[in-house]
Amino acid sequence: MTANDTSGLTLYELAGADPELRFSPYCWRVRMALAHKGVEVEHVPVRFTEKEKIAFSGQRLVPVLRDGDRIVTDSWRIALHLEERFPEPSLFGDPATIPLTQFVSAWADTTAMYLLKVILLDIYNALDESDREYFRSSREKRFGVRLEAFVADKEMHLAGFQKALQPLRAILTDRDFVAGDTPTYADYCAFGMFMWARGVSNTLLIPPDDPLFAWHEHLLDAFDGLARKAPRHR
Amino acid sequence: MTANDTSGLTLYELAGADPELRFSPYCWRVRMALAHKGVEVEHVPVRFTEKEKIAFSGQRLVPVLRDGDRIVTDSWRIALHLEERFPEPSLFGDPATIPLTQFVSAWADTTAMYLLKVILLDIYNALDESDREYFRSSREKRFGVRLEAFVADKEMHLAGFQKALQPLRAILTDRDFVAGDTPTYADYCAFGMFMWARGVSNTLLIPPDDPLFAWHEHLLDAFDGLARKAPRHR
């Protein structure tokens, strides 16, 4: 399928050294939402040092969705836009769940920050040479330590991430998906984190005896294996 | 109002040295839920070393609700029971939100564990003499350090708790309550944590410039100031 066969929408996504490597957890939320809606879009890779590609959006963060004259930024606002533009099948199941789905989205934002410390050096290694200096200096400034220091404390950071996952684990002990029997945007918010790690890292986050395992496998296989087939950094 | 004027329900709650000091975050979820429903119950204080008072429930944790022949344990199951037994006003606003409210409940369970490390010694100091040895030995065994060690690292634990609160803060920047314009059980789950701290500790958790401040004040004042008037340890 070429871009001309698509809905006319364009999604700007973070890319690695391999331009087909898409690892942003926020972009993965949107990828899964688009697949849920059955909407094809043109995908444009954007590296950290290629922010001029999204200058038209008036800000510097991906994902950015261009839908005709509408420019939508922020994964949550993009999800709401897709729900309005392509109502069926609903991303939320029931409109009443939208506010609490935003809570799950915000929870996944916070929890991703625990995971970041586990995979920070893996992300660095998956980046194009042109992005590495920017990534190292900006992250070392933010955290006040060398990237390599995160690897030294990897077990501690992994334990912190596993603890932060507890609400998801508690829910998925009771049922198959976050909001019920079928996946909704709440699942894609949580799943985006794991696709971030999967794209760049070999760290085992979900062992087979984890209550998250079946859920994660299901989402890897969803939409004809969209997530499972996605390129990973080697 | 005497016990005879009530609904006939009895709630068994954790108590401090002052039997009127009720500080369990899980019991506070139920207290707020009962007030939301406008249901009066008889309250029975249970200290850590008085577990024989709830032996009839077949387990050792408060809260326990006795409703005629029905014995309901676990704050989440008690909330569902109250919703079925007293449908109006709904604790959830819309039945479609119940699964995601359970996620917020699970999130509050996890987040309470970050707060526990901030107020552990304050809890100890608020307990009856008869409970202190049990509490110290069980918690020191669980954490592998003396209770006093938590005070030494209080700033670190407080920072961890503040970070874990981020999803709540993000949501309450956008609207007045977790699920919309009015309080629901999702709010009471989060608020229960703050009532735990308020009962035993002087630690400032929510400064006036925090997005949580107005939300917290509103819930302190709700139901004729039920939470604000509740006894605190001095």
Task: For residue A145, count other CB atoms closer than 10 A to its CB.
Answer: 12
Verify cis geometry, omega within 30 degrees of 0, for the bond prior to B95.
Answer: no
Q: Rounded to whole angstroms, how far apart are CA atoms B18 and B128?
A: 7
Asked if A174's CB is within 8 angstroms of B109's CB, the reply is: no
The secondary structure of residue A51, as a DSSP letter, is G
Residues A71 and A103 in one domain: no
Q: Is the pLDDT confidence value at A70 over 90? A: yes
Q: Rounded to whole angstroms, how far apart are CA atoms A15 and A46?
A: 6
Q: Among A100, A166, A168, A173, pick the best mutation site for testing chain B contact (most B Cβ within 10 A).
A: A100
Q: Rounded to whole angstroms, how far apart are CA atoms A86 and A211?
A: 32
**Cβ contact A148:A121 at 8 Å:** yes
pLDDT category of residue B6 using cuts at 50, 70 and 90: low
Residues A68 and A141 in one domain: no
Of A100, A106, A107, the CB nearest to B179: A100
The alpha-carbon gap from B117 to the nearest alpha carbon of chain A, in Å, equals 14
**Cβ contact B133:A136 at 8 Å:** no
Residues A151 and A59 in one domain: no
**A14 within domain boundaries:** yes
Q: Among A97, A103, A111, pick the best mutation site for testing chain B contact (most B Cβ within 10 A).
A: A103
CA A89 to chain centre: 21
**B90 within domain boundaries:** no
Q: Is the pLDDT confidence value at B4 over 80? A: no
The alpha-carbon gap from A191 to the nearest alpha carbon of chain B, in Å, equals 15
Residues A50 and A158 in one domain: no
pLDDT category of residue A6 using cuts at 50, 70 and 90: low
Please, how many CA atoms are within 13 Å of residue A146, restricted to the half-sphere of its CB? 4
Q: Rounded to whole angstroms, how far apart are CA atoms B231 and A132?
A: 56
Domain that holds residue A58: 3-85
Residues A178 and A208 in one domain: yes
Q: Is the pLDDT confidence value at B1 over 90? A: no
Verify cis geometry, omega within 30 degrees of 0, for the bond prior to A89.
Answer: yes
**B61 within domain boundaries:** yes
In a 3-state reduction of DSSP, which class is residue A141?
helix
Residues A58 and A102 in one domain: no
Mean pLDDT within A71-81? 98
Please, how many CA atoms are within 13 Å of residue A208, restricted to the half-sphere of its CB? 0
**A47 within domain boundaries:** yes
**B18 within domain boundaries:** yes
* CB contacts, 8 Å: B163 with chain A: 110, 113
CA A71 to chain centre: 20
Of A104, A106, A168, the CB nearest to B100: A104
The secondary structure of residue B127, as a DSSP letter, is S
Q: Please list the residues that pair with B13 across neighbouring strands.
A: B45
Residues B148 and B197 in one domain: yes
Residue given tokens 């005896």 in the structure block = A209
The alpha-carbon gap from B186 to the nearest alpha carbon of chain A, in Å, equals 9
Write the CATH number for B26. 3.40.30.10
Among chain A, residues having any CB pair with chain B shorter than 8 Å are 93-94, 96-97, 99-104, 106-107, 109-110, 113, 163-164, 166-168, 170-171, 174-175, 178-180, 186
E-strand stretches of A68-219: 70-73
Q: Is residue A88 exposed (0-12), middle (13-18) or buried (19+ Cβ within 10 Å)? A: exposed
**A219 within domain boundaries:** yes
Q: Which of B85, B117, B132 is the last residue of a domain?
A: B85
Residues A200 and A113 in one domain: yes
What the block records as the tokens of B37 is 């429903």
DSSP letters for B170-195: HHHHHSSBTTBSS--HHHHHHHHHHH
Q: Which of A25, A50, A85 is the last residue of a domain?
A: A85
The alpha-carbon gap from A50 to the nearest alpha carbon of chain B, in Å, equals 29
Write the CATH number for A198. 1.20.1050.10
**A194 within domain boundaries:** yes
Mean pLDDT within A76-99? 97
Mean pLDDT within B10-21? 93
Q: Which of A85, A107, A132 is the last residue of a domain?
A: A85
Count of helix runs (H) and strand runs (E) in chain B: 9, 4
Give the total number of structural domains in chain A.
2
- φ/ψ of B228, rounded to 5, equals -65, -35
Give me the interface pTM, i.e. the ipTM: 0.95
Longest CA–CA span in chain B (Å) reads: 48
The alpha-carbon gap from B233 to the nearest alpha carbon of chain A, in Å, equals 30
Mean pLDDT within B79-85? 98
Strands A64-67 and B64-67: unpaired
Q: Is the pLDDT confidence value at A91 over 60? A: yes
Residues B147 and B214 in one domain: yes
Residues A45 and A137 in one domain: no
Low-confidence winner among A38-42, B6-10, B115-119 (lowest mean pLDDT)? B6-10
* Predicted local distance difference test score (pLDDT) of residue A77: 98
Closest-CA residue in chain B for A94? B96
**B116 within domain boundaries:** yes
Residues B7 and B109 in one domain: no
Given strand A42-46, what is the order of strands in its sheet? A42-46, A9-14, A64-67, A70-73
Residues B80 and B128 in one domain: no
